[in-house]
Chains A and B, each alone.
Chain A
């Protein structure tokens, strides 16, 4: 049993070395998760404001069968193929929810729950089939369920970076249109903007961020990267532009902190192979940011509301 102080010192030294980006490998990982956190935080604001938050969850869960299908087709671990498969199945899941809502009397919440369960079930079935095969071990599918940022290679990080640049670029370019779509759909229609196409675009952006987040955060928790930064940013401002900026920054810092902790915290079991999973740590960092925002934000936060005597909290 190593001396506690000693462990703490090593940990802090590790963390400092990591955050100063000294070695190439951590640089890739941190760059990848930072880009991801930024993009997901920005896009997540639209998902939350348009009440599409849990559709992201359905898309994320549907990514698992998509990844498995890609593995069946390609036969090896290929980041690009996995992302493509996840994207196709994510779109399929979103379409299924829309179809159930439009064509049956089943409500959207039940539709989302059914889609989450059955698509993920399909993913579990297929991944168990893959693991039964001799080449299955190389698939690394486990990493996609809880996330394993450490196994990210340079090409993965580059793909995430490209996705993030495209996503954030689209949001910046179409800022005015997306803003109108979010808050005043009728106005957007009278401007002659294609609201349905913009709606689909938002879904595609959610899909892209979800899929890009899988390697780092995993299927189950990637939805948190979309929702929590936006929720935290909402506490500070009423302006969409500020909210997007803050959500992006919160997402970025939570992702970097989480990945850094995952890489440096001493393994709980003592074995190097089974360390702390990245996804949950990133989510906890984001949740901490939300709690701090909800309590301390000026005007909106719990403390200033209690001070102003507005104990009765008003829901949106």
Chain B
């Protein structure tokens, strides 16, 4: 799709969506961190009766009245969930479910009741009217801009300002509410401010983007950012940026396929989360799998080196000095991993393979050096265990076989200094470093 095929209206839609996404993404981080994501979900459903009541009482779609009505119900949701949890003695998530589904049901009925006098249908509450925001404009600074834009932009700036001003308090109460109390910060007050901000965000956003998109934008960018960084400041910024990219991609895709913009932004935010979950450098699924594979490959290689070293060390007459590679492969790790390890060892010039026969493997001179490091770690640990714990001799090998891959040079020299003599409990020599 070419950018030139976009109309001015599409840019205004995108601007509204981006402002909304940044507003939701930044404040949503704290919901994710406090494990209150589902409260965001609940609030975005339960504000519906608040909106309807405000309309019925004032008889207009005055944004301020609607905002006030929805805000009250939104903040009340959390309190009502606690009440239902205690009243019915049911788990927290079930209590939340009881409250928000009942409130949503009341909301739908109220809206149905006043349906002929207000163009607020339950469907648009769910999906929003992002496509049409550019039709409803106000004149500002000599330009016609969507009426929703100043609201969303103000919301975005408000949320950012709130986070900047209360950053310390939000951080401490999110991670350690006990510490917050000792510092004289009331976790309850901060929680209330956060809830109010979430309710305000939901209320202002829902008209443009619908309640479903609000849920996604509150949670998905924050959860994605959580996979990319450990620092709260960076997480908030990243979350805002990720919200904005989801909004932009979603808008473009929706125009391309001629479908619902809010739905497409939701999908984009979800897809972004899946992508980051798979490929995040540190906490992604691929990175973790990769790290595990690299580690198990190193362990397999070291086990092969140790095996060959022990063979070559054995001076008894008639004892084999080398081993067919098929036998090596059978004795360590899984066949696949072992075969790869043998290939790596040969490529690095640590192991030689004889031509013909069963392909006997022997250590090269460099291989002996490398292997002696592993054997040294193994035997040092055996000596250390037998000196410090009353273990029988045949119980020393197993734990050392595990720990040999992780003993650093520093620990090895400390153990060597403590042990003093130079042979292990089985009488084998401990190779010099």
Interface size class of chain B, counting residues whose CB lies under 8 Å from the partner chain: 35 or more
A57 to B94, CA, bound (A): 11
Q: Tell me whether B266 and A124 are in contact (CB under 8 A).
A: yes
Of B40, B106, B108, the residue contacting A113 (CB under 8 A) is: B40
Interface centre among A109, A111, A113, A300 (most CB of B within 10 A): A113
Also in contact, A121 and B266, with CB within 8 A (given A227-B97, A227-B101, A231-B90): yes
* Cβ of A40 to closest chain B Cβ, rounded Å: 13
Contact assessment for A121 and B283 in the assembled complex, using a CB-CB cutoff below 8 Å: no
Contact of A205 with B by CB under 8 A: no
Whether B85 sits at the interface, judged by CB under 8 Å, is yes
Q: Is the CB of A234 within 8 A of B262?
A: no
Are B102 and A284 in contact, CB atoms less than 8 angstroms apart? yes
* Chain B residue with Cβ nearest A300: B89
Residue in contact with A118 in the complex, picked from B104, B259, B266, CB distance below 8 Å: B266
A114 contacts the other chain (Cβ, under 8 Å)? yes
Residues of B within 8 A of A121 (CB): 212-213, 216, 262-267, 269-270
B226 touches A (CB below 8 Å): yes
Contacts of B220 in A (CB 8 A): 113-114, 117-118
Listed residue (A47, A53, A103, A270) with the most chain B CB atoms within 10 angstroms of its CB: A53
Query: Closest Cβ of chain A: how far from B96's Cβ, in Å?
Result: 7
Which positions 57-88 of chain B face chain A at CB distance < 8 Å?
Answer: 84-88
Alpha-carbon distance between A234 and B113 when the two chains are bound, in angstroms: 33
Q: Which residues of A contact B38 (CB under 8 A)?
A: 54, 109, 112-113
Secondary structure dominating the interface of A: helix
7 contacts between A and B (CB under 8 A): A106-B227, A110-B222, A121-B212, A124-B266, A231-B84, A235-B87, A284-B109
**A234 with B88: CB separation less than 8 A:** yes
Q: For chain B, residues 91 to 139, give those with C-beta under 8 angstroms from any C-beta of chain A.
A: 91, 93-98, 101-102, 104-106, 108-109, 112-116, 122-123, 126-127
**Binding-face segment, A154-162, A163-171, A271-279:** A271-279
A71 in contact (CB, < 8 A): no
Question: Does A287 sit at the interface, judged by CB under 8 A?
Answer: yes
Contact B37 A110 (CB under 8 A): yes
- CB-based A-B contact count at 8 angstroms: 237
Of all chain B residues, which has the CB nearest A117? B216
Check A134 for interface membership: any CB of B closer than 8 A: no
- A302 on interface, CB distance cutoff 8 Å: yes
A125 close to B267 (CB less than 8 A): yes
Q: Which of A69-115 contact B (CB under 8 A)?
A: 100, 103-107, 109-115
Interface check B273, CB cutoff 8 A: yes
**Is B123 touching A145 in the complex (CB atoms < 8 A)?**
yes
Q: Verify B285–A117 contact, CB threshold 8 A.
A: no
- Please give me the residue from chain A that is nearest to B108 by CB atom: A280
In the assembled complex, which residues on chain B have CB atoms less than 8 Å from the CB atom of A48?
90-91, 94
A interface residues, Cβ below 8 angstroms from B: 47-49, 51, 53-54, 56-57, 100, 103-107, 109-126, 128-129, 132, 142, 145-146, 220-221, 223-224, 227-228, 230-232, 234-235, 268-270, 274, 276-277, 279-281, 283-284, 287, 290, 293-294, 300, 302, 313-316
Residues of chain A lying within 8 A (CB to CB) of residue B339: none
Closest to B212 in A: A120
Which B184-229 residues have a C-beta within 8 angstroms of A? Answer: 212-213, 215-220, 222-223, 226-227
Which B residues between 241 and 286 are near A, CB-CB below 8 angstroms?
A: 254, 257-260, 262-267, 269-271, 273, 277, 283-285
Is the CB–CB distance between B88 and A103 below 8 Å? no
Which residues of chain B are near A300, meaning CB under 8 Å? Answer: 89
Q: Is the CB of A117 within 8 A of B89?
A: no
Minimum Cβ distance to chain A for residue B25 (Å): 13
A116 to B88, CA, bound (A): 26
Q: Say whether A315 contacts B102, CB under 8 Å.
A: no
Whether A51 pairs with B122 at a CB distance below 8 angstroms is no
In the assembled complex, how far is the CB of residue B215 from the closest CB belonging to chain A, in whole angstroms?
4
B51 at the interface (CB under 8 A from A): no
State whether B264 touches A114 (Cβ < 8 A): no
Q: Are B89 and A314 in contact (CB under 8 A)?
A: yes
Query: Given A110-B223, A145-B123, A315 and B277 touching (CB < 8 A)?
Result: no
Q: Are A117 and B215 in contact (CB under 8 A)?
A: yes
Residue of B nearest to A122 (CB): B267
| Contact A315–B105 (Cβ < 8 Å) | no
Q: How far is the CA of A135 from the CA of B36 in the complex (A)?
A: 42
- A146 CA to B101 CA in the complex, in Å? 12
Top-10 shortest CB links A-B: A121-B266, A118-B270, A117-B216, A124-B263, A224-B101, A280-B105, A283-B105, A53-B94, A125-B263, A113-B219
- Cβ contact within 8 Å between B105 and A314: no
Contact B285 A103 (CB under 8 A): yes
Distance, CA A122 to CA B213, complexed state (A): 11
Given contacts A113-B40, A118-B270, A121-B270, contact A51 B93 (CB under 8 A): yes
* A-side contacts of B98, CB under 8 Å: 224, 227-228, 231, 287, 290
**Is the pair A294, B91 in contact by a Cβ cutoff of 8 Å?**
no
**B32 CB–A CB distance under 8 Å:** yes
A147–B54 CA distance with the chains assembled, in angstroms? 26
Residue of B nearest to A270 (CB): B116
Question: How many Å from the CB of B82 to the closest CB on chain A?
Answer: 8
B264 to chain A, nearest CB (A): 5
CB distance from A303 to the nearest CB of B (A): 12
Contacts of B122 in A (CB 8 A): 145-146, 277
* B86 and A128 contact, CB distance less than 8 A: no
A71 to B257, CA, bound (A): 18
Closest residue of chain A to B39, judged by CB? A109
Is A116's CB under 8 angstroms from B41's CB?
yes
CB distance from A118 to the nearest CB of B (A): 2
The interface centre, meaning the residue of A121, A221, A268 with most chain B CB atoms within 10 A of its CB, is A121
